[in-house]
Each structure stands twice: as C-alpha cells, then as structure tokens.
Structure 1
C-alpha cells in the first residue's frame, strides 16, 4: 500500500447542540459523506487504513499551552448551557462533551500519518479528520478549530524524526492564521496559504493575511500569503499560483516533508469560498506537490462545507496520492486579472528573500491592499436563503461536471514499456506492462514509406512497437508509455507518431523534443501541435506553436525553464497527449529528465509517451519509467541560480508569448507586443481564450487587426461570431 487513510468513527460524535447558523455547517456529515464516497469509488480499499489514536497531552503541548489543554479537557463535564457560554468566548467555535476526545483524535491522526510516511510504511496519505485545526492558536480555539493538527504534526516531525525543512501548503479558503502565528519566526517551516481576503473584508479580517506579511525575525520570507481579493477564482488561478509562486519557492527550499492543510471550501459550490475550482483541480495540485520531498506528502482535512464538492475533491486528492493520473482540467486556462494582481503582489513581497524569484527578472511593485475593517460588509450566514439558493445551483453545475469526468475512466494499465534493448537492466514496478505487441505489418510499412530513415528492418520494428503503444494510449487502455528508437530514425519516428496520433483523432499534441531533434518542416502550424525544441543556443518563438529554447545549465535555470515556460504552455495548450523525446546529446541529467516527465504527466492527464534513443543509459530509462508510473522524481540537488544568459533567454520568450499564452502571465493588466508586433492586453474576458482546434488559432476578439488584414503566418482568423 502506497497511501495511508487515517480516520476514526468517534470523530463524528461532536455536533452543534444549539441554534447557531454560523457554526451549523461544521457537521459530522462532512466525514460520513467523504468516507462514503471514497468507499463507493473503490479508493478506500486501495489505501492502508489506520485507526486514529488520541494525541497525548505532551504532544498537544508541542503547540498549545497547558492551561488551554486543561480548558478543553474540562469541556467533557460541562452542561449544554455551560458549553454554549464557553463557546461564546471564542470566534466561530462550538463545544460538545465529545469535543476534547474528537480533537485529540484529529491531532493524533496527523501524528500517525507523519510517522507512517517518515518511517517508510507508506509513501503518502490523508488524515480524514474533524474538527479542523489551522485557525487554532497556542491558547485559543478559533474558526471551528480546537488543536492545530498540522502544526502539531510539523513539530512532531521535527522533534521525533529530526527534520529540518517542512513545507506546509494551506489551500483552505480561509487564512490559517494559527499556523502562521506558530511558525512566523521559524525558517525551518515554509508556510504557504492562499485565502479569500477581499482587501481585509473577509473572515478572519486580519491585515497579517495580506501579501506583505512575510514572517518575522529569522523567519522573514518563510510565511507566504496569497490573498484572493475577488470570489470566483478557478482552476487556472489555482494552477498559476502554484507555478509562479509556490513551486519556485518550494524547490529552492527543498523540503523533506510536505504537509497539506487540505481545506475544500476552496472548491466549487462551497458557501464559504464561493470559488469555481472544480474537484479535479485538487488532483493536479496534489500531483504537483508530489514531485517535492521524495513524494512524502501528508494531507490533513481542514474545511469543506458543500458535501458533494467536499467528497469529490477528497476522492480526487486520494486518487493522486495513489498515483492515478489526474483528469484533464475543465474550463479555459486563463487566469483572472485579480488573481494575477495577487500573484504579482506576493512575488514582489518575496523577491528580496528568494533567489528563485529574483532570477526570473520581474521587478513588480508591491501595492498593499486597503484594509478597512470598519467598512467590511456583513457576511452572509451559511444558512441564509441567498447562499442556500447559490449552493443548490452550484450542486447542479457540479454534478454536470462530474458526469463528464466519469465518462473518462482511468486506464487499466498505468505504464507500459517497449524497450527491448534495455529491458534486461531495468528494475520496474511489478505492475508495469512489458509490451510485446506491434502494429499490423501493413500499417507500419505504410507509415515507414514516408521517410527514408525508416527503410531499415530495425527502424520498422521500432516503429511498429511505438504505433502499437500509441494506440493503447489513445484507446484509453494505457496511461503512459516508454519506448526506445534507433538514433538515425528518431526524428522520422517522432514525425510518424505525431501524424498517427492526429489521424486517430487526437486534437492537441504537445511535443517536447530535447537534443538534436528537428521539427518536421511540413508540420502544419494549425494549432493541433505545440512543439517545444530544447537545444542549441538561441531562444526563439518561431510561432506561437513552435518555440525553441536552449537547455539551461544550472538547477535554478532548469527549474525556471520548466515552471515559468514549459508547464504554463502545457496548461494553456491542454494537450491530449505529450510526446517527450530525448534525442542524441540531449544533455539532461537523470534527475532533470525525471522531473520534466513527472511534471508533464500532470497537465496531460497522465498521457505521456517518452521516446529515448537506444544508446541511452538503462538507468535513465528506469527512472523515467518510475516517474511515469507515478513515483516521485529524485532530487535535483543543490539550488544554483540561473545564468544571465538563461535568464535573458527565458524573459525574451515570455515577452514574445505571454500576450497569447495567458498562463505565462505573472502580473496584472499590461500592454505588450506579440509575435507579429500586435499589441495584446490581459483581461478577464473568457471570450479571449486561445483557441487550439483545427479551425483557427485566435479568436477575432483577441487580435486587433481585422481578419482580412492580419499578416500573421499562422492559421487564418475566422470572421467574428
């Protein structure tokens, strides 16, 4: 079992005993529904089930004062009236005679999960708990939270397992100020939180929730707050926050463990968040975190109050922890203007503290939010008619989305290899399929006649295996694959693979070609293929679908290249399939190739076919097979900043491309110039999304030139709809 699921039935016992519309949403059904959905989807059965234990009072004392622990212990003997009176002393809290027991179990579940992961019993896991914890402080309950489960788990990992670098990712829609207060002067814990903020007008109404709150003393730079100042943030906004803020800092920090305050009130339909991120987005976020810390990821449930959205988001998270490919993201991948403003602010606040942000060459100005607590609006109560109506509408929309997701089942084979020359030296997971089949001889020979380089028997044999493997991926029988090609025939085989995939109905193909692999000269620039060439000395955007980039020479440069260029383009393009080709003299170290493959697997829904020249080292094939199977990539090693040349090349490409590929944007509204000298603007209008179907490249609304006057050497623009 690679994934632990920690739970205890007793955590359902605590419930609200009086009328309080603010607190009624934190109910036992949150656990009942989530656990039931995990069982229904067959996910619980695939996990190692652990029954949560109570945290000891000594363990609680890692974070909380003895007086506060004693106060909660005393609630077990209080009457309902006394419990209600005590609850009124705190903000958004209710007590029950079972609260102390439930809260100790919730904290203990996090400790068990950390122990299981750090002792190697499992790779990762989820603690399905209540009450939540991230608002709880040293001597105060707050926001439904009694003990700070994740903070206690972090302190325990430091004390009992000797860890020196822990990353806490808080994707709950409320700011986890309790975690921030506990670690704000501690450089051994990097705390990242995004949260609904609205310039200080959303609970908990704290100025220290804004982007300019970066920690104190030795901990300056280790508290990262990304405030959402509008509701409605969606998949593109959440992914952009990871690519442009969290992941650059996390790779530089190099954590030994990732703890997730996994609150799903940031998902669509939740009355607290009022955001639009769909459940599959959390599968993507989880997989992006799994490339860190050797895959040691421990998620602990926080908020989430729309039962359907909560349970599906929990399932998506567990699926990713188990290594299943993430379903494709729904909706246009165009970040909102407000989201980009927030990303710009947090990058500006942290640029003085992190080399990974300095090397990207952006020098935004931090504009503090206007904090006006006296002007904050009266919040809508979760039980009010307005939010009940909104929740009902969101449920209908969510079910329609889920119906679409479930139409695409997980392939029965996660990973297949066709690597005959290298097989004997590979050590692979036991469920990897060693493919023996080949495409029909007549079909293979018909494709081979397109290129002289495919005239040899060796090339035809390799082509047949690749076509057979491609068919398995395109038919949904295999998720990802790895194959070898004869070096002289690699470019021709790659060309045939592209053409064959398009002929089989693939709509969008991303090809990342590393090394001496030229793009086919007659490949149509029609939006169905995006070719990234990683070789040579020149950075050039030959079109918006043909980008060339030198291979960076340092770890920082490589990370910058992957996080600030490759992944944003991949998410913007939303490929049906990724072809990752490592040709002769590709120059990638094994750890770099593994990270690139692991990250490309995420936006592609797991559908990656990696092609290696046959003379590649067997060790490279082995590590690629493992990450495509869902294992964590090895560490890149010490962080080294990008060279001036690599930095300049990346910024040159971003300036050329960001007006068309909006996932490259890291700042608010700007005006710049695209590939053909055409001005482009950034806004929230989804009608301006990049089209990549076979009909056209750009919507007429994007390009300021009338369609008949456009001189771009891309596909023709249609008349305005």
Structure 2
C-alpha cells in the first residue's frame, strides 16, 4: 500500500478561447507546472501512478441532474461564439469543446482514487485534476467548476462501498457552496470549509457561507463554516482552526474516509486568496488529517492560481501523504484577532450539536456587529487597488522565494526512523525502512554523562544510555528524523534527564519534553525557558509556570483526545521545538494505540524530530510507536467516549491559567462593554511574523 497519484494529460486540453480576464487564471499550466515539480522532487516516482478514467453519466448522476449533464455534453459540438454565450449563463465559468471530456476525467479521477483507497490498493492519495468542482451544483456550473468531483466521490463511497460517515475538508479559499448544498441535510457527510468571507463581501457573496449556517433538517451540525473576515490568514490561524474546530468534531464523528477539497488559493502569493499560509503548512494539515479514518485520506485538487505556490504546496501535501516528516512551520505561531473571532463564532454555532465542544470554555457568542469593523474594500480595477495589489504581489513573491530557498536547503534526513534496543527482540515487527540502530556513543563519554545518576551505573542502563546519546546526536545533526529507544524502567527518568542535557549541549534552542507517567522534571532545570515540560499523569510542579505544565492522566479516550488537541498540541505548536522527547515512564497507562497517536501528532510541531523513550520488555508498544513515527496512520480509535468531569475541569483550569501566555491555546476574544478587544488577550501579529495585507485591499475579484 502506498500513495496513489491519479492524473490524465487530457485534462490540460480545455482552455479559455476568448477574452475573459476573470477566468484566464484557470489554465492548463496549473496541472503541468505542478506535475513537473512533483517529478523534479522525485515524488511522482514514489507514488502509485493511476491514469484517470472518465466518469460515466450514471456516476455523474449521483449528484447532477440529467438535464444539466446533457447541457455539458452538448458543448462538444458548439462553436466559440455559442460556447461563450452558454458560459455567460453561469457565474465565472467558461466552456471549451473538450470540457465534457476533461470534466468527466476529473470526476473519474476522484472515483478511482476512492476505489483504490477503500479496496486497499492504496493507503491514501491525490487526484490531480481540472476543472475543479466544489462550487458546481446539481443543475449549474459555477466558479470554474463543472462537475462536483468531491461530492460525486463521497456519494460513490456511500453507495458502492457502503460507508456511513465521510468527512469532507475544504481548505480552498472560496466557500464550496456546491458541496454544502448537496449534503446540507445529510448526516452521513460532515462538511468543513474555511473560506475568505469578509462579512459577505467576497465571492460568492452568500449569506449561507457564514458560521451560523450549520445544515438543514437531519443535517443540523454537519455543515461547519469557518469564515475568514480579513485577508492575510497564515500558518497559526490555519493550525488553530484545525485544533480547536475541525479535529474535535472529526474525532467525535469518527469518519470512515476523509476527502480533501484541496484548493491552494489559500496559500501565500495566490491572486485570489491574499492569504499567508506557506507551503509546508499544508504538510502539517495533511498530517493532522491522517490521524483520522485509519489514514484513508483522498485529496482532490480544487483551486490554486499562483503556479509556484500551487506546485510547492502540492509537493508538501504529497510528501506528507508519503509519510515524510513536515518541515517546521514558518513564522511566529500566534493567531490573529480576526481568526480567533471566527473560531469563537463557529464553535458557538456548533456547540449545540457536538459533545466535544459542550464541555469546553466557549466565550460569548459574537454577533457580526461585534466583530472587528472592516472598512469597505476598494473596488477592483481602480488605480489605488491595482497599485496596492501590485505591491502585495511583489512582496509575496519575495517572501515565497525566500521560503522555497530555505526549504531546498533542508533536505529530509536519509533515515526517517531508527530504533535502538539493548537486545534483539524476536517479537518486534518493524515497518519496512525502519533502521535498527546499532551505534552507540563512546563508552567513556557515556560514563561521563551517566556519572551524576546512580540509576545509570548498571551495565544495562549504561548501554541503553549510549544508544540514546547516539540517537540524539544523529537527530540533531540531520542524519535521522526520529527514533525510539528502550531503557530499564528504573532508569527512564535518569535517561530522560541526560537526553535533555545532551540536546541543549548540542545547541537545541527549544526542547519539548512530554513525560507520561511518574517522571519528574530535573530540579536544576526548572527555570530553563529552553525546556517546555508537559507532565501527563505525573506529579504537579511545586511552583507551576508557563514552562512546566502538569495534567492528570485522562482515564478514557475522550479525555486523552481533549488533552492532546486542547493542550498538548497548541502548546507544542506555540513553542516550536527543535526536538521533542516523549518519555513513557512507570505507570504511564497508555494503550499502544494511544501512544502511537501521541507521537504521530507530535511529529508536526517537532518538524519530525521526535525521540521516544519506552521501557524495555514492551515490544508491541515499540512497534506501534515505530509505525507512527515512520508515517503510518494510527489505527482508528473508533467512537470516542466522553471525557470525565474531572478531566474536563482539570483541562479548563489549566487552559485559563496558560491562555494569556500561550496564544495557541486561546479560542475566544475577550471584549469590554464597548465591544473592544481586551488588550491583555488581543492577538496581533508579532513583528517577527509575516506582514499582513491591509484590509481594504481585500476587494472582491468577481463582480456580477
């Protein structure tokens, strides 16, 4: 099982035949440039390549009316003037004599991908297609989209494969109203969309794109709209939306399949989106989705109109699907105030339908009038707008070029995962490609590091420590991405202490330690702000601080997920560690699947640099962690139980204490009676992060 890439060169044939500036950006080069970059990076060669087939008219009929399919079929015989006249009957659409063939290939590619994943021929994959689909409706083309590829694939998965729960994640910068309309009363499909909205002033200018539109009838709560009300949303905003909105609902929904409407007009440099998310952000988002549905993730290309940004973002997503670690995120991880307002509103709108949100602090419900006031945008085409847009495009080009240079200078380590054990264990089955690490630090050096700890004096503990030191060295010098070591139970705390000091000695500026079970933080390092210590199920800190966080070990799966999504990951992404140490000490209490889930999700904030320390005689746990660190999906947890009242209260208490200092934890904006944001919790962009565009630049491109 691998990653499928579905494509057909015929999808590049259709192109605009007349002067129509609004639609000229949807061009064949979107596919050719992206495929070329995948080939240059060696990514296409690593994928299972499938040639797209045409969807049958019966398959198109799963979503579209026979009359509409007949209209599109008829375009094959029309001349240019007739095509232009027909196109004018729809919003932001153009037809070409080959559109019917291309659009059937796009829908068929999505169907092939779903079939490959659900039959076990592939683990996950991407359908590289055009025309896009998420705007098209039952009886109408819309917004470059002819047939609704993702909606057809979802209905196909339900009817052919018998699925009952499908999650659709639409990260395109435009609202996929076509998908929403098709499934708005269907509780078997959970549809999540973030989109540039600007209080209704951005295309498609729909009231039903707002946060309080949650579905119809039986589908109440299964439409989740997260409207962005300003441009410039970046990595921190996107990750916060996943952690605080999408993932809690998704785990509660327990999908059998994840479909991604993968539009990259939400990436930096795109002329439609004016957003600031960098290409590697999409690798992180993909990794977060792979913890769902046993890793069955099918991505289908939607928008994306800056060729360089599109190609790089697609490469990052494919790398994540292949299991490669995601590069560290760029910029300071502080969501902006407008993003928090949107997150706050959608959580309040969805709370009546989802238990995972009902047990959390929500903040007051914000009316649109209470949101940040936005000046009316400049209309497109005016001199001031064109001047500002040109300046922004130049700035984005420079920022993107710098980012791409940095990414090219950071090749992935030659060894993705290494396992170092003190003795061979015949019961241990490791994934193909995982390296059995035989190396060890020199004996004298190991003894010097062990000298302060009596627990490390014995030969077995000293041998294990030598392997730990060697792995820390190799991770930090870029030879190994992640690793696992086994230590004697009584020596775990001492080994962890040495691993921390070794990491700092080698120059790690920020080190995240997630200690599960009875493990104490070294007292003499308690004031070292280079170390963020998260203790799960251990002793509380004598003097709690923002760099020493203790939480009781949750007793049920729901409590563990709330802890990871609501505390561990926001802190980890906010801290941006150079190395993550995960230590499962005495009485850690985690099942193998839970341990795998924890390390799998910590790969993101650590840029893949994770070292796990486990007790000896735990071969099944070592195997589960190795598969997770190597990029394999964690087994599905199934329906999640509700967190206990004690876990809920402990998490709320911690979050209230830490939110003012760790901005990724916040999910609401505090306002005074006049509607002004409380300055103590206001989220503004730090000077070190990417500059945001002025709100007045965010004018609608499409006016009709």
TM above 0.5, yes or no, is: yes
Determine whether 1:534 maps to 2:531: no
| 1:713 equivalent in structure 2 | none
Instruction: Give 2:668's aligned residue.
Output: 667
Deviation at 1:524, TM superposition (A): 4.6
Distance in 2, Cα, partners of 1:589 & 1:670: 42
Q: What is residue 482 of structure 1 aligned with on the other side?
A: 484
Give the aligned partner of residue 645 of structure 1. Answer: 646
1:167 aligns with 2:137: no
The alpha carbon displacement at 1:636 in A equals: 2.3
CA offset at residue 422 of structure 1? 6.2
* Counterpart position of 2:577: 575
Alignment partners' CA distance in 2, 1:143 and 1:679: 40
Deviations 1:380-421 (A, max 9, x none): 599966545533331221011111122111011111001244
Per the alignment, residue 619 of structure 2 pairs with 618
Contact 2:64 2:138 in 1 (8 A): yes
User: C-alpha displacement at 1:425, in angstroms?
Assistant: 1.0
The whole-number CA distance in structure 2 between the counterparts of 1:392 and 1:625 is 44
How far 1:329 moved relative to its partner?
0.2
The aligned residue for residue 229 of structure 2 is 229
| SS class of match (2:352) | coil
Q: Is the 8 A contact 1:540 1:549 kept in 2?
A: no
Is the 8 Å Cα contact of residues 344 and 363 (structure 2) preserved in structure 1?
A: no
Q: Is this contact kept in 2: 1:538–1:549, CA < 8 A?
A: yes
- Asked whether the 8 Å contact 2:269–2:397 carries over to 1, the reply is yes
| Structure 1 residues 541 and 367, CA gap change in structure 2 (3 angstroms) | farther
1:487/1:620 Cα in 2 relative to 1: closer, same or farther (>3 Å)?
same
Contact 2:422 2:460 in 1 (8 A): no
Distance 1:196 1:688, change over 3 A: same
| Matching residue of 2:260 | 260
Q: Deviations over 1:142-182 (max 9, x none)?
A: 00000000000000000111000000000000000000000
Deviations 1:571-595 (CA, angstroms, capped at 9, x unpaired) = 0000111100001110111121111
Shift in Å, 1:537: 7.5
Check the 8 A contact 2:428/2:623 in 1, yes or no: yes
Question: How far apart, CA to CA, are the structure 2 residues paired with 1:381 and 1:173?
Answer: 23
2:519·2:539 contact (CA, 8 Å) conserved in 1? no
Q: What CA distance in whole angstroms lies between the structure 2 residues aligned with 1:14 and 1:489?
A: 65
User: Which residue of 1 is the match for residue 326 of structure 2?
Assistant: 326
User: What corresponds to 1:495 in structure 2?
Assistant: 497
Confirm or deny: 8 A CA contact 1:221 1:350 kept in the other structure. Answer: yes
Q: Distance in 2 between matches of 1:683 and 1:567?
A: 19
Distance 1:645 1:238, change over 3 A: same
Q: CA deviation at 1:642?
A: 1.3
Q: Deviation per CA, 1:571-623, whole angstroms, max 9, x where unpaired?
A: 000011110000111011112111111101111111111100114x3211111
What whole-Å deviation, never above 9, does each CA across 1:325-379 have from its counterpart, x for those lacking one?
A: 000000000000000000000000000000000122335314246999xx88634
Within 5 Å, which residues of 2 pair with 1:397-476?
A: 397-421=399-423, 423-476=425-478
Q: Which residue of 2 aligns with 1:598?
A: 600
Aligned to 1:72: 72
Structure 2 Cα separation of the partners of residues 439 and 381 of structure 1: 66
**Conserved? CA contact 1:202–1:376, under 8 Å:** no
Alignment partner, residue 692 of structure 2: none
The 8 Å contact of residues 268 and 276 in structure 1, kept in 2 or not, is answered as: yes
Does the CA-based 8 Å contact 2:363-2:668 persist in structure 1? no
Counterparts in 2 of 1:234-245, with a 5 A limit? 234-245=234-245
Q: Within 1, Cα distance between the matches of 2:257 and 2:629?
A: 22
Preserved CA contact (<8 Å) 2:244 2:343: yes
- 3-state secondary structure, aligned to 2:272: coil
For structure 1, which runs of at least 5 residues remain unmatched after alignment? 672-677, 690-721
The answer to whether the Cα contact below 8 Å between 1:212 and 1:368 also exists between their aligned partners in 2 is no
Match of 1:515 in 2: 517
Q: What is the CA–CA distance in structure 2 between the aligned matches of 1:535 and 1:169, rounded to whole Å?
A: 34
Counterparts of 1:131 and 1:497, CA distance in 2: 52
Task: Evaluate the alpha carbon distance shift between residue 569 and residue 414 of structure 1 in structure 2; reply closer, same or farther with a 3 A threshold.
Answer: same
Question: 2-side partners of 1:500 and 1:380: how far apart?
Answer: 58
1:448 CA displacement: 1.0
TM value normalised by structure 1: 0.92
Aligned to 1:49: 49
Give the distance between the partners of 1:535 and 1:565, measured in 2 at CA: 14
Determine the C-alpha separation between the residues in 1 that align with 2:272 and 2:402.
Answer: 21
Match of 2:273 in 1: 273
Distance (Å, rounded) in 1 between the aligned partners of 2:541 and 2:245 = 24
Partners of 1:50 and 1:20 lie apart in 2 by 34
CA distance, structure 2, for counterparts of residue 562 and residue 369 of structure 1: 34
Residue in 2 that maps onto 1:83: 83
The TM-score normalised by the length of structure 2 is: 0.94
Cα contact 2:512–2:531 (8 A) shared by 1: yes
Residue 118 of structure 1: aligned partner:
118
Counterparts in 2 of 1:407 and 1:126: CA distance versus 1, 3 Å: same
Q: Tell me by how many angstroms 1:141 deviates.
A: 0.2
Q: Which residue is equivalent to 2:633?
A: 632
With over 3 angstroms needed to count, the CA separation of the structure-2 counterparts of 1:260 and 1:366, relative to structure 1, is: same
Mapping of residues 116-195 of structure 1, within 5 Å: 116-195=116-195
Distance 2:291 2:158 in 1: 21
How far off its partner does 1:18 sit?
A: 0.6
Counterpart of 1:545 in structure 2 is 547
Of 63-72 and 450-459, more deviation after overlay is shown by 450-459
CA distance in 2, matches of 1:234, 1:668: 18
2:694 alignment partner in structure 1: none
Query: Is the contact made by 2:253 and 2:639 (CA closer than 8 Å) also made in structure 1?
Result: no
Query: 1:98-113, aligned counterparts within 5 Å?
Result: 98-113=98-113
SS of equivalent to 1:416: strand
1:516-562 Cα distance to aligned partner (Å, 9 max, x none): 11111111523211000111586997111101110111222111100
How far did residue 634 of structure 1 move? 1.5
Please give the per-residue CA displacement for 1:287-307, whole angstroms capped at 9, x wherever unaligned. 000000000000000000001
Closer, same or farther in 2 for the Cα pair 1:446/1:32, shift >3 Å? same
Contact 1:541 1:548 in 2 (8 A): no
Q: CA–CA distance in 2 between the matches of 1:631 and 1:481? A: 15
What is the count of residue pairs matched by the alignment?
A: 682
Change over 3 Å in CA distance of 1:540–1:211 after alignment to 2: farther
CA distance in 2, matches of 1:484, 1:407: 33
What is the CA distance between 1:453 and its match in structure 2? 1.3
Inter-CA distance 688–105: structure 2 relative to 1 (3 Å threshold): closer
